[in-house]
Amino acid sequence: MQPGKRAPPKLDLRAFQSPPTAPARRTFPRSVLDTHIHLWNVEQLKSGNMRWPNRAGGLPQLAGPHELDAYGEVVAGGIQLVAGGKSQFAGVVFVQAEAEHDDSDADGSKGGWDAALDEVEQVCAAALVSKVPLVALVPWAPVQHGRAALSLFHSRLLALPSLVALTERLGYPPIKSFRYLLQDSPPGFFQTDAFIDGLKWLGENGYAFDITVDVTDEQTGRVKVLDDAIDAIERVREGQQADSKTTFIFDHFAKPPLTSDPTFPPAATLTAYIEALYQLALLPDVYLKLSALLDSADRETVATAFEEFRGGEYKKRRKDGAYDRLRSRIAAVLEPAVEAFGESRILVGSDWPMFRACTLPTTSTSPSAAHCSSVKAADESAAWAFEMQLYVDCFSGLGLEGEALDGLFEGNARRAYGLAQK
């Protein structure tokens, strides 16, 4: 090197190497806890105790028995279709299937509670002999009659032999929440002093309340029902101690409008729904359950999207495809919900078997071949997987991945229902 000349800089050889590969996004949950299924058996159907399958003009796909073991067979095949079979199945939460009850029977002395109690007895008996892990139950309760009725109902409930046996098997009491369907109730029904008193009793005794309202229902005031719910929750929380506040879980995202009809709902209705979600999210210990949205969408789009799923076409993400249109409609309510509630206060359920009416033919009256000779196991499993995969894709499309998905599909449910975390 000549005098006065500066040596050339020594370059780090790493500058010539390829940049490290970023770790791949995990776009699937490690496990799925289905937080919303309904069950009924032959005995209940013969007795006429179940409202939904026996109602006038009922859906044929719900007419036959829908039992825990049949659900287990559906999920055994379905979980292999979700995220390429990378997720494990963690269990189920049973939610009342609307057994017959007499609302005028304030103490159960007239037999108005018998069918609802029998519903729990039948489900627990099935769980004792089934391989399907039933981790929690959400039965009906006479919340509208206040704490005295609830206390009496509660004592009769806990004495059920199969529930006692299941509690011993699990090592904890599986009843974690109660429900009284409000979607068909008149405006203000759950704002009465007695109902508020009943909701207070639930929190004081360690129970949550699954609240089911429908923002598209004209008779209950449409979106105003969420304003009523906010008012009711605030009243329930008055005077409650921090360790006994009633947790509220809004089933089915309050049944938002997902129809393809451009004239309904008006844009103002969807805007009001989203604004109400933001107000609702300001209340602590309130959760949203992402479930039954296939029932809220139009049947034609759901049916076509299901065919795309079964044929693998959904993976192409065609913007003109029914699967992508359905995903976009759900994302329109899911995105603001995630923004409002965060990723830790939303849980996922299938609402099995209600979605069978959207995806399967009317000849499939039961998922069990023993009760329906035309049933196709592959179709049953695909229908369950279709909804789960749709929700996975919706969350992933919003940028959620890894541990966030683990929470959405299991961890958040365990927290909301007071179950031990894995």
Domain extent listing, the chain: 26-416
Q: How many C-beta neighbours within 10 Å does residue 184 have? A: 13
Region 26-416: CATH code? 3.20.20.140
Whether the pLDDT of residue 51 is over 60: the answer is yes
Helix (H, G, I), strand (E, B) or coil at 160: coil
pLDDT of res. 13: 63
C-alpha–C-alpha distance, residues 184 and 211, integer Å: 12
Q: Is the model's pLDDT at 357 over the cut of 80?
A: yes
What's the average model confidence in pLDDT over 297-324?
A: 91
Q: What is the pLDDT of residue 24?
A: 78
* H/E stretch holding 5: none
The torsion region of residue 334 among left (phi > 0), alpha (psi -120 to 50) and beta comes to alpha
Select from 194, 344, 218, 211 the least CA-distant residue to 281: 344
pTM reported for the whole predicted model? 0.93
376 CA to centre of own chain: 25
The DSSP code for 313 is G
Query: How confident is the model over 20-39, as pLDDT tens digits?
Result: 666 678 999 999 999 999 99
Using pLDDT thresholds of 50, 70 and 90, give the confidence band for residue 138: very high
pLDDT at residue 268 is higher than 90? no
Q: Give whole-number Cα distances, 156 to 70, 159, 169, in Å.
A: 29, 5, 20
- Model confidence at 265, in pLDDT bands (50, 70, 90)? low
- The number of helices, as runs of H, and strands, as runs of E, in the chain is 16, 8
Tell whether the model's pLDDT for residue 261 goes beyond 60: no
Give the residue among 187, 218, 202, 188 at the shortest CA–CA distance from 157: 202
58: CB partners within 8 A, 6+ apart: 52
Q: In what order do the strands lie in the sheet with 346-348?
A: 177-179, 208-211, 248-250, 286-290, 346-348
Q: Is the dihedral of CA 88, 93, 98, 100 positive or negative?
A: positive
Per DSSP, the three-state class of 312 is: coil
pLDDT, one tens digit per residue, over 69-128 is 999 999 999 999 999 999 999 999 999 999 999 999 999 999 999 999 999 999 999 999
- Residue 55 pLDDT more than 80? no
Instruction: Look at residue 151 and tell me whether its pLDDT is greater than 60.
Output: yes
- What percent of the chain stands above pLDDT 70? 92
Mean pLDDT confidence for 183-205: 92
User: Confidence class of residue 231 from pLDDT cuts 50, 70 and 90?
Assistant: very high
Distance in angstroms (rounded) separating the CA atoms of residues 330 and 104 = 39
Residue 404 has pLDDT above 90, yes or no: yes
Residue 184's pLDDT band (cuts 50, 70, 90): confident
Residue 282: pLDDT band by 50, 70, 90 thresholds? very high
Q: What is the mean pLDDT of the chain?
A: 92
Confidence of residue 298 (pLDDT cuts 50, 70, 90): confident
Alpha helices in 238-321 (DSSP H): 267-281, 293-296, 299-311
| C-beta separation of 130 from 68 below 8 A | yes
Cβ atoms within 10 Å of 288's Cβ, excluding its own: 27
pLDDT for 8 equals 63
From 327, 195, 178, select the one nearest 248 (Cα to Cα): 178
Q: Is the pLDDT of residue 220 over 90?
A: no
